[in-house]
Amino acid sequence: MTVVILDADRTDDPEDKALENSHWVAEQIAAVLVSPTITIRGEALTRGRLEEALRDAQHAGVVYCGHGRDGELRQCGEALLDITNLEQIGARWFHAFACNSGNRLALSAGPFVAAYLGYHRPVIVEWTVDGLPDEVRAILRDIVTAATLNLESGVRSRSAVRRRVRDAYDAWIAWREDHDGDEDLPLLDRMGLSALSRLYDGMELHGTEVTD
C-alpha cells in the first residue's frame, strides 16, 4: 500500500512564497513515512489527477500540502478537492496541510471518509529553513510530520494525534527557553515557528474511523 503526496508547489502561483515552505513540508513527510510514496507536484497536480489517485485502491492515504479554504483545496485558482468530489477519498486517511480546510471540508467528510485531518485556522508557514540551526530544523521536521506519521500508523484518536503533535511542538518551546535572547534566530522565524501551535490547537480530525 502506498501514500500519495499532493504537492501544490508552483512557481507561477501568485502566493508561491508560502508554497516554498509547504513544498519543504511535503518533502519531509515523504522522507519519514514508512510506506512507499508517490508525489504529484506542480503542474502535474490537477483535479483530474487527484481524482485518478483517489480511484486507486492501492493508495492507503493521501497528504495534500498547499493552499486551502473552508470548502476547497486549490492550486492556481483551480479547486482540486471540494464538496463535490470529497466523497471519493472513501475508506482511507487524508491529511490536508493547508489553511481552513478543517471547517466545511473536514466536517462534511465525517460521514463517509475514514479519516480527514485539517485545520480550522490558517496554517502559518513563515520561516526560512536554510537559516535555521540544525537542531531547530530537526524539531520543525518533527512538528510538521507528526500528524501524518500517526495517521499512517493507524492512530485515529483525536486526542492522541493532537497530543503527539503537541509533544513535538513542546520541543520547540524547550529550545526557545534554553536560547532566550539568542540573536542567531531571527524574530520572524521565532514567530513563525511559534505559530505552529495551530497544528494542534486548530486541528480537526473527522471520519468513520475517528474516535475521541
Q: Domain count for the chain, please give it.
A: 1
In sequence order, the β-bridge partners of residue 39 are 5
DSSP string, 86-105: GGGG-SSEEEEESSSTTTHH
Asked if residue 44 is part of any domain, the answer here is yes
Whole-number Å distance between alpha carbons of 119 and 196: 11
What CATH number is given to the structural domain containing 54? 3.40.50
The type of residue at 95 is: H
Q: Name the grid cell of 39.
A: 508525489
Per-residue pLDDT at 180 exceeds 80? no
Report d(CA 112, CA 114) in Å as an integer: 7
Question: In this structure, is residue 212 part of a structural domain?
Answer: no
pTM confidence score? 0.95
Q: Which long-range contacts (CB under 8 A, 24 or more apart) does 68-71 make?
A: 68/96, 68/98, 68/99, 68/100, 68/101, 68/105, 68/118, 68/123, 69/99, 69/100, 69/101, 70/100, 70/101, 70/103, 70/104, 70/105, 71/103, 71/104, 71/105
Cα 89 to Cα 113, 124, 152, distances in angstroms: 6, 26, 15
In a domain, 211, yes or no: no
Paired with 94 in beta bridges are 62, 116
Q: Is the dihedral of CA 133, 136, 138, 141 positive or negative?
A: negative
Confidence of residue 31 (pLDDT cuts 50, 70, 90): very high
Range of lowest pLDDT (84-88, 90-94, 188-192, 206-210): 188-192
C-beta separation of 147 from 155 below 8 A: no
* Mean pLDDT value across the chain: 93
Q: Which residue range(s) make up the domain with 11? A: 2-206
Residue 62 lies in a domain: yes
Residue 94 domain flag = yes
Q: With contact defined as beta carbons under 8 Å apart, do 138 and 152 qualify? A: no
pLDDT recorded at residue 183: 61
